[in-house]
Structures are given as C-alpha cells and as structure tokens.
C-alpha cells in the first residue's frame, strides 16, 4: 500500500477511532507526540465510562474555555446549551434600586399601552402596536437607567436604534420625563389633525417627522441592523480621521427575532467583525414571534442566531432564563433540565406562556421524570412566575456590562422574552397579539393590577375608550430617580443635534477646472465630477469633510487616482504588499484612509452614505458624503435605504454614474439604466439633476453645498446622473442663465436664424449632443429653426408646477410654473428627449404651453453600440428631427407627409443605418 493510500484508508482498525475533527483543523496538524495523544484519549474514554456523557461534556466545555482564555486557536462552537451565557456566580451586583425601577417601569408599560388604546377611540382608530414594547420594556429600561449615554456626556453620547414597533414605550418614558405632555400623547399617529402640525406623534421612529427626538428610522425592518453596523463603522472612521473623538461612544441596536430573517439584518455582519467593532451591540428581542405567528415553530431561533453570529465572528451572550430558574438549574445535577430546554421547540415555548403554570408543569416538566421531580414543591403559581431572561433586570444588566467590557468583537445579546408580557392572557404569546390594539375593560383592570397602577375601577369604567394615563407627579421619588439617572448619563435620549455648523467652501478653483471646456480632449461628465471634487478636497474648509463612498467601481469611474493620496479606509491598516505597489496609482489602505471602499455592496454603501451624511446630527460634525455607483444599482437596488436616508435628513451627493439606457455600451439589460430619475422623483427628500455639461455639473454641486451645508440647511440630498461617454465639453457661456440652470431649464442654444417654421427641443444629459445635431438637420434640410434648451432637472420643474397647482387649489394667488414661463417666451411646438424612458420627460407635460411631444428609451436595455441603441429607441439626432416635424404636423404647420418623408430619408426604422460607433467606450 502506498503512503497516500494508507492516509486515505484512515486509522488502524484496532483503534476504532476517527482521528479527525470533522469541522475543525486536527487533520491538518502534525502530531508531535502520538504517545501522549493516546494517553489523553484513553483518559477521556475512562472518564466518560466512569462519569457519563454529561460530565464528559462539562469537562470538554471547560477545556475549550481555558484554551480560549490562553489564546489557543480552535474552531469555535457555533451553539451552546439553551441557557444563559453568563453563569449566576459571575453576575455583577445590580447597581440600581431594583424596586424603584420596577415601579416606574410599570408606569411606562401602562402609559405605552394606554396611548395606543386611546388612539382607537371612536372617530380616530389609527392603529398602533402594544405587544412589542411589552416584551422589551426591561431591555430598554436597564439601558436607559444604567448604560445609554446622552449627547451631553463628555464622550459625546451613544446612538440608539429603537425597534420600530416599540416606539410607544419610548414616548411613554418621555412622558414621565416631562418631554411629552398628555395632550401630545393623545396625538399618537395624528401628526396633522391633532392640535396642528407638530401636535401629534409619528407612528414609529421618524427623524424627519420629529427631528428634535428620533435619531434613526428603523421600522423598515432590516435597515436598522445594517445601518447600526455602519453607524459604528463611521464612528470609528471619524475618530481615525481626526474629525471627532468617538472612542467613548457606543451604538446599540434593538431588533426583533423575526426581523433577523431580512437579508439586510444578517448580510453585513462580517463588516462589523472584520472591523472589530466592539463599539456595537445588537440586542435581539427573541419573543419567538413574527407578526403572524412563531419565528421558528419547529426550531429554536435563539440557537440559530447564536450559530449565525458566532460564525460571523461576533461575541454572543444569551439571556435565556430569569433568576427564578437559577435554583432549578443548580439542582439539575444530571443535566435533565438543560437537555429538556435544548429539545423544546419555540412553538411549544410560545404555547406554554399562552396557558398557565399547571399547563407548563404537565407539558414541559413532566416530559422528563427528573424534571418533574425538580418542581414537585412548586405551586402552579410558582411555575408561572419562572421568568424568561429578557424580563430580568439582573440578567440583562450582566449581559450589557459584559458587552461593553468585551473587546475586539461586536456583541449580540439574544434575550428570551414573551410578546405581550404583562398584558394578560388575551395578549401574552398569542399569534394575533401584534395586531391587537385595544383592551377590554377586564383586560385593563387585570393589566392595572399586574403593574400595580393606582387607578380605580371607577376611573376605568367612566370611559373604557379613554382610560387615564398615570404620572405620579414631578416630585414623586420614582420621577426624581428616573431624571437623576439620565442626568448622570448625559441627558435625555433619543435626541438629535439641531443646529449644525455651517460650512463655506471656496469653489473658484473647482469651477475654473471645468468652465473653460475640454478643448480638443473628450471628457465624460463622470471624469468632470472627479476633477471638480479633486479641487474641492483641497479646500481648507470642506476638503477633509468630503468622503468618497464607492462600491468597488472606482476604476470604472476614474477615481482610482485618489487611491494613493486619499487612501482607502481600513481600521486594520494594510499588512500586505499591493500587487501594483510600484505603480503611481497603487491600491493603498490605511487606518486614516478617506475613501470608504465598501466592496460589491450597494446596501452597505447606502448605509455608509446615511451615517456620514447625518454626522451633523449624531456628532455635530457636518460631513459631505460623495456616494458614486452604477446608476442602475442605486435607487433600483437600494431604494428603501435611500428613502430612510431622506427620513434621517441625510445630506450629501448620490451620484448615478454610467447613467442612461444607451451610454454603457455593451453591458446590456441589467446595467442599462433608463428610469432611475423617475425612481428618485418619488423621494421628496431628493433633489435630482441630469446635467449635460461639466460646467452645469459644477454649478449644481456648488448650489448643493450651499443648500445642504449653508447657514440655513435644507432637509435634502442630491442625486446627480453622470455619463461615461466622452464628449467635447463646451466652455461655460458668457451669458449663462445660472438661475435657470439651477431651477431646471435654460435656453442653451437659440436657433441661429429665423426660418419658415419654429420649434423648441428640450434635452438633458448625454442626449444634448443629439439635440444639437437635430437642430442643424432641421435648419439645413427642412427649414425649421429650433431652439435647444438644456433641461438640467425634469423633476424640479415638475415639482415647481405641482406646487403652483396646490397653491392655486388652496386659494392662493395663481403663479406661473417656471418651465411655462421660460417656454412661453419662444415659439413651439416642443419636443423633449433624454436617455431615459418617456416618463421622465412626461413629468412636465401639464406645464408645457402648446403641443408637447416626447421621445425616450422605453423598454429594456440591451447590448449594442451607442448609435445602434439610440436608433432602436429613436432618441438619436435623426429621430429627434423627425419628432419635431411630427409635432409641427400635429399643429397643422406642415403636412404630415413631410415628417413621413423625413423618417424614410433618415432611415430611423433601420438600425443598420445608424452611424458607426467611433467613440471611446468610456471607462470614466
């Protein structure tokens, strides 16, 4: 037998032992002392035979713990027993007055539920959720009383991502704090109708709707976990770049176990692990229920999440059982109770809490005679009082303290709770509890009794729709204690900085770089953008605050020239020699790098954009994110994240590069973007532009800096489309209509001379070149003098028109929309074209005087040359010229056969007649 055959054959049959750790590394390690190894294995066998598997398991776990303590690298255990991670004897002393905190926690529970209940009164009925906060009240209160640091803390304060459906509890705490009065509590989910705008409360955490209060929007489930990871990453980035000291700040994200099924919830865990973000803690409220039923009825979500997070490199702390279980677990000498806990499914755990103590005795403990014996002296009431860990202050405090003390890894705390806890038998653990929004009179009385709220039956019976809130008064010991805890921790939370520092940039050099045109050189607007920001990054006021964010396409966008100078941010530095180290544009990573290069990861890049663009609110340090991506993979792929960015009032620039349906030659259907401006138009917080020329782009950027970072900043961010097709960039006209450019339209090139017929051509972006060529064709071949307008923003023109309509509808003085005013000064008809589908141009139809004819790239994109694609979509110069003639025919100015003859002459139906492509493919 050959040496390799012996290896494949495995160990000698006499040992009857497999000498490989199947999921580990032992098979790859040399055995330096086989004799000693055999002695260890024989010793283990003897112990197993003498003491049994439970003892063997215990000793092996202790050996693994010791190996970990001594920094011996071993494959990690992906899951542990269904018990608390922190043993009882290692729990720290709870530092607070637990009885005092229980009393005002009960008040918060009451007021949260009553606020939602009162919002269902006749004539209102606006919904709400009671059970999520009921399950997580203790998780929040331990944090608010002992861990969460406010903005006035010397370290700058923590950032708290509140689970969206738990918002009633946060409002109820603010009510006790005196930040929200009873009248505003009654305005829950009535933001306009109750006491006027600002007199009510938004349904969920929405900073845009309550800017002095909420920090982060979280209720689009999955975005909270992702954005929390990037908030922690950007905190480190700001610190490592010397912007602000965030070393004493922590990010807490409160999440639901059902929410963890969202791809965004788990898909970026490795980012936190790779960056060693020990400034981040996830607290997953494992109440075992989704909106409709169990998260894992047949399985165990806590065990699943433990395996997942451990595998991703996180520190995992399980808080499964409350202190009442400690004595039982201590008495469980044979491990029977732990084994039963391990085997019981989540569906059964949910059912237990929907019944009573007798049911739990019969259906849980009685499944193993040894476990039944453990509780033989327990009454059914005693068994019912066996709490889950997520409702136990001591267990939660121990977990939070351990999380903050753990270094080198992010931490996740998996807290076992009950949905609808303390709300009574109609709510606790019921599948329908998420949708239950009001309580019967009996429910109210039982809930009052459980929480020991001093409200009489008569007060509840007076109007069951409007049971009273409870506040013991500002001088009550509970309120004094609550307020004192927040004072010591740095003030109230949640809260935002509301007065950002203004920035003023010197833009002269950046304008000079592009205003003169490109001469004989052809330059794409993408490359022009790079030149503009290269100059802005030299500005003393804003240079260090500009943060390029790139999802692995820097070379495509011509931004690789920034690698050696700005460097790519990596908190671990660079510990390898780059393959292109000898080149001028070498790939360089650094702890103080300025570029956020997020890999093939648009979702994470959007989260980074949001965190950087809201640093004015979280850190009182305005930053200017420059997020550039393939335009198809922006609003289409991450529209939800970009919507949340607007909710969070993010500032910055979102750049749709390689824009348009026909400019990204050869790439095809999935890359050819013909609709992103329409998607952007649906977001009210986005100002969208599609500039044709470099100087337009410069002025748009400068105006964006003024509007977002000036003394009176607007709650907006910019979306600008730029192209990879190189063109001869014109110089800025001497008589440039800058106001029109910024409002969305200006007359770029009037018709050279008056001819028999006149018309107007409206174009944006890369289509401007075809519009100008069509102007020449119409004059030369058809006697039509056509004015050419540069439309920098179809969306801003449409919004202006809509605003005029609304003002008139509401009885205001009629106002002429800007686009109407501009076009009324010249003769129509008007033909509009862009590299996008017609819907983009159709936004302004109602405000164009006279005949309006649109051309666009409707339908899926495909792989071909630019001229061929434009001929297929009929947005090239010839098609625009025929479009103008068609519009004139519609007006009766010419015979329809003229347009038909032009279509035949220019062969606009024949793709083979399209001009040959001679352009550079345009990598930038």
**b/e map 146-170, b = 16+ CB within 10 Å:** bbbbbbebeebbbbbbbbbbbbbbb
Instruction: Tell me: is residue 837 an annotated ligand-binding position.
Output: no
Q: Is 228 exposed, middle or buried (0-12, 13-18, 19+ CB in 10 A)?
A: buried
Q: How far apart are CA 287 and CA 302, in angstroms?
A: 10
Contact 173, 106 (CB under 8 A): no
Tell me the Ramachandran region of residue 492: left when phi exceeds 0, alpha when psi lies from -120 to 50, beta otherwise: beta
Distance CA 616, CA 169 (A): 27
Residue 329, C-beta contacts closer than 8 angstroms, at least 6 positions apart: 83, 321, 337, 338
CB 290 within 8 Å of CB 199: no
How many C-alpha atoms does 335 have within 13 Å on its Cβ side?
13
Distance (Å, whole) CA 183 – CA 190:
12
Tokens coding 808:
């008139």
Which residues pair with residue 749 across a beta bridge?
788
Beta strands 251-256; 852-855: pairing state: unpaired
Phi, psi angles (nearest 5°) of residue 491: 100, 175
Q: What is the Rg, in whole angstroms, of the alpha carbon atoms belonging to the chain?
A: 33
- In sequence order, which residues have a C-beta less than 8 Å from that of residue 734 and are 6 or more positions away? none
Q: Alpha helices, DSSP H only, in 296-354?
A: 301-311, 326-331, 336-343, 346-353
Measured between its terminal Cα atoms, the distance across the chain in Å is: 61
CA distances from 460 to 111, 187, 503 (A): 14, 20, 55
CA atoms within 13 A on the CB side of 317: 26
Q: Is 257 annotated as a binding residue?
A: yes
Give the separation between CA 275 and CA 281, rounded to whole angstroms.
Answer: 14
User: Is the CB of residue 625 less than 8 Å from the CB of residue 608?
Assistant: yes
Q: Are 418 and 135 in contact (CB under 8 A)?
A: yes
Bridging pattern class, strands 852-855 and 568-569 = unpaired
Beta-bridge mates of residue 852: 830
Give which of 127, 159, 155 is closest to 143, Cα–Cα: 159
CA 680 to mean position of chain CA atoms:
17
Q: Which helix (H) or strand (E) holds 871?
A: helix 866-873
Give the count of alpha carbons within 13 A of 252, CB side only. 25
The structure tokens listed for 616 are: 């004015």
CA distance 13 to 304: 37
Q: Which residues are annotated as a binding site?
A: 257, 287, 289
Q: Which residues are annotated as a binding site for Mg(2+)?
A: 257, 287, 289
């Amino acid at each position: 037998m050959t040496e390799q055959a012996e290896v494949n054959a495995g160990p000698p049959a006499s040992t009857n032992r497999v000498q490989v750790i199947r999921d580990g590394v032992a098979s790859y390690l040399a055995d330096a002392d086989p004799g000693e190894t055999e002695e260890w294995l024989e010793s283990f066998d003897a112990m197993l035979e003498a003491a049994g598997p439970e003892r063997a398991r215990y000793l092996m776990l202790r050996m693994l713990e010791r190996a970990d303590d001594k920094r011996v690298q071993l494959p990690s255990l992906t899951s542990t027993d269904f018990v608390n991670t922190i043993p009882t004897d290692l729990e720290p002393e709870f530092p607070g007055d637990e009885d005092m905190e229980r009393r005002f926690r009960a008040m918060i529970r009451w007021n949260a539920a009553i606020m939602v209940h009162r919002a269902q009164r006749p004539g209102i009925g606006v919904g709400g959720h009671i059970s999520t906060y009921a399950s997580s009240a203790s998780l929040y209160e331990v944090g608010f009383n002992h861990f969460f640091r406010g903005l006035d803390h010397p370290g700058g304060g923590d950032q708290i991502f509140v689970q969206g459906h738990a918002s009633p509890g946060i409002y109820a705490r603010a009510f006790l704090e005196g930040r929200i009065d009873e009248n505003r509590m009654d305005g829950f989910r009535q933001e306009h109708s109750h006491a006027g705008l600002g007199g009510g409360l938004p349904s969920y955490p929405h900073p845009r709707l309550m800017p002095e209060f909420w920090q982060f929007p979280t209720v689009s489930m999955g975005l909270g976990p992702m954005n929390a990871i990037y908030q922690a990453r950007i905190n480190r980035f700001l610190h490592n770049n010397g912007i602000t000291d965030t070393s004493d700040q922590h990010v807490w994200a409160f999440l639901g176990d059902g929410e963890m099924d969202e791809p965004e919830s788990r898909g970026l865990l490795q980012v936190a692990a790779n960056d060693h973000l020990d400034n981040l803690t996830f607290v997953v409220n494992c109440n075992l229920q989704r909106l409709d039923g169990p998260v894992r009825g047949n399985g165990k979500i806590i065990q699943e999440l433990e395996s997942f997070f451990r595998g991703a490199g996180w520190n995992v702390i399980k808080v499964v059982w409350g202190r009442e279980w400690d004595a039982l677990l201590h008495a469980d000498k044979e491990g029977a109770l732990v084994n039963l806990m391990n085997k019981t499914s989540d569906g059964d755990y949910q059912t237990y809490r929907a019944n009573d103590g007798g049911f739990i005795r019969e259906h849980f403990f009685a499944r193993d005679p040894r476990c039944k014996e453990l509780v033989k002296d327990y009454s059914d009431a005693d068994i019912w009082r066996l709490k889950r860990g997520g409702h136990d202050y001591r267990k939660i405090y121990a977990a939070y303290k351990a999380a903050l003390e753990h270094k080198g890894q992010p931490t996740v705390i998996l807290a076992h709770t009950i949905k609808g806890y303390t709300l009574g038998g109609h709510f606790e653990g019921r599948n329908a509890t998420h949708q239950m929004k009001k309580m019967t009179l009996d429910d109210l009385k039982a809930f009052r009794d459980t929480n020991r709220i001093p409200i009489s039956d008569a007060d509840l019976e007076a109007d069951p729709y409007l049971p009273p809130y409870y506040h013991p008064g500002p001088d009550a010991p509970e309120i004094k204690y609550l307020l004192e805890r927040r004072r010591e921790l740095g003030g109230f939370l949640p809260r935002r900085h509301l007065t950002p520092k203004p920035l003023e940039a010197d833009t002269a050099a950046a304008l000079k770089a592009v205003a003169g045109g490109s001469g004989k050189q052809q330059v794409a607007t993408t490359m022009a953008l790079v030149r503009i920001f290269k100059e802005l990054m030299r500005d003393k006021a804003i240079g260090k605050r500009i943060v390029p964010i790139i999802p692995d396409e820097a070379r495509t966008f011509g931004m690789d020239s920034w690698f050696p100078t700005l460097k790519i941010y990596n908190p671990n530095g660079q510990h390898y020699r780059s393959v292109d180290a000898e080149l001028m544009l070498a790939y360089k990573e650094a702890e103080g790098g300025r570029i956020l290069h997020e890999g093939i990861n648009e979702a994470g890049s959007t989260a980074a954009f949001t965190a950087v663009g809201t640093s004015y609110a979280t850190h009182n340090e305005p930053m200017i994110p420059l997020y550039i991506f393939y335009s198809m993979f922006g609003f289409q792929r991450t529209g939800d994240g970009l919507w949340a960015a607007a909710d969070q009032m993010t500032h910055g620039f979102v750049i749709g590069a390689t824009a348009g349906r026909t400019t990204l030659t050869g790439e095809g259907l999935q890359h050819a973007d013909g609709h992103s401006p329409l998607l952007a138009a649906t977001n009210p917080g986005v100002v969208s532009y599609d500039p044709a020329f470099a100087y337009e782009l410069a002025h748009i950027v400068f105006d964006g800096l003024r509007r977002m970072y000036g003394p009176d900043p607007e709650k907006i961010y910019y979306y600008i489309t730029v192209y990879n097709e190189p063109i001869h960039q014109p110089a800025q006209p001497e008589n440039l209509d800058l106001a029109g450019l910024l409002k969305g339209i200006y007359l770029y090139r009037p018709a050279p001379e008056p001819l028999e017929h006149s018309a107007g051509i409206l174009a944006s972006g890369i289509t401007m070149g075809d519009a100008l060529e069509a102007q020449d064709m119409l004059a030369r071949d058809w006697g039509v003098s056509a004015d050419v307008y540069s439309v920098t923003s179809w969306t801003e023109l449409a919004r202006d028109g809509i605003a005029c309509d609304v003002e008139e509808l509401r009885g205001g003085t009629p106002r002429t929309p800007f686009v109407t005013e501009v076009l009324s000064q010249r003769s129509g008809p008007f033909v509009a074209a862009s590299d996008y589908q017609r819907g983009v141009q159709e936004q302004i139809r109602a405000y164009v005087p006279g005949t309006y004819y649109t051309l666009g790239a409707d339908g899926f994109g495909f792989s071909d040359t630019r001229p061929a694609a434009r001929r297929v979509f009929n947005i090239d110069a010839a098609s625009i010229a025929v479009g103008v003639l068609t519009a004139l025919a519609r007006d009766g100015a010419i015979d329809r056969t003229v347009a038909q003859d032009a279509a035949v002459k220019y062969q606009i139906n024949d793709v083979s007649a399209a001009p040959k492509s001679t352009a550079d493919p345009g990598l930038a």
